[in-house]
Amino acid sequence: MANMLPVGAMELSVPEHGVAQTDRYPYQQARSEQPPPYSGLPGPSSKTQPQRVWGMSPLWFGIFIAAVTALIVGAAVGGSAANSVKDAQQRVTTTRTFSHATATAAPFVDYVAAAPSTVENTPLVCPDEDGKTYVTVQNEIFELSCTSILAQGDVGCIVAYTFQDCIEACASLYSNQSSSVCTAITYNSNMASAGTAAPYRYGNCWLKQQELASNASNTDDNSISASLRTS
C-alpha cells in the first residue's frame, strides 16, 4: 500500500539532481498568448465631423443663404417692375391742359434757325389735342381746336416755329394792351407754303380778334386754332 499513488496524481520522473517539480499550471503559457480583453472604450475617430453654422450643416446653410438671396433679388426686381408700370401708366394718362415749357439749368448754346421758306413742316399736336387747353406764361387759358380754323379778324401775322409760340405772342398782345387786341390764333405748321398763302401777310401764325373772326371747317391737317377763354 505504501507504494501506491493517490488517484489523480501525476507520476513525474525525478531528475538526477534537484527536486522534482510539478507543473501546476499546464495551460498558463497558452493563455498568455491570447489577445488582451476588449476594454469597451472607443478609439479616436479618424473622420473629422463637419463644422455646423447656426446649428445647420454646410449644405443646409448654403441652401438657406441661396433662398434669402433669391427673396431679396425678387423683391428688388418686383419693386422696380412696379415702379416701371406706374411710370408707364402715368405717361399713358393724358392731361386736359397744356402748359408752357419751363426754363432748365442747361447751359446756353448758340442756335441759328432755318429760314421759314426752307421749313416744310413744324411739330403739330392735332388731332390728339383737339378740345384741350393751353396755359400761357401769363396764365391765360386758350382752348385748342383741330377741326376748325378762324377766318378773317386778322390783327397781324408772324413767323412761329411752334403753335405754342404763336399763342404766347397773342397772349402778350392781350395782356399788354388796354383793349382786346388779340384773343385767338390760327397756326399752320407748313411754314414754307403758309408764307405765300396770303400775299398781304408773311408768316404762318395769324393773330386774330375772336369777335371779328368766324369759324370755318378745317380742311388742312396742318392747321390748328386757339381761342382765349374769357370766363
- 111 inside domain: no
- 64 inside domain: no
- 148 inside domain: yes
Chain segment 171-223, per-residue pLDDT in tens: 998 877 656 689 999 999 988 877 655 554 678 899 998 887 777 777 778 88
- 25 inside domain: no
List the CATH number of the domain containing 179.
Answer: 3.50.4.10
pLDDT band at 165 (very low <50, low <70, confident <90, very high): very high
pTM, 2 dp: 0.52
Helix/strand/coil (H, E, C) string of the chain? CCCCCCCCCCCCCCCCCCCCCCCCCCCHHHHHCCCCCCCCCCCCCCCCCCCCECCECHHHHHHHHHHHHHHHHHHHHHHHHHHHHHHHHHHHCCCCEEECCCCCCCCCCCCCCCCHHHCCCCCCCCCCCCCCEEECCCCCEEEEECCEEEECCEEEEECCCCHHHHHHHHHHHHHHCCCCCCCEEEEECCHHHHCCCCCCCCCCEEEECHHHCEEEECCCCCEEEEEECCC
- 224 inside domain: yes
- 3 inside domain: no
- 79 inside domain: no
- 76 inside domain: no
Chain segment 83-98, per-residue pLDDT in tens: 665 554 554 444 455 5
For residue 152, give its domain range.
Answer: 116-228
Number of domains in the chain: 1
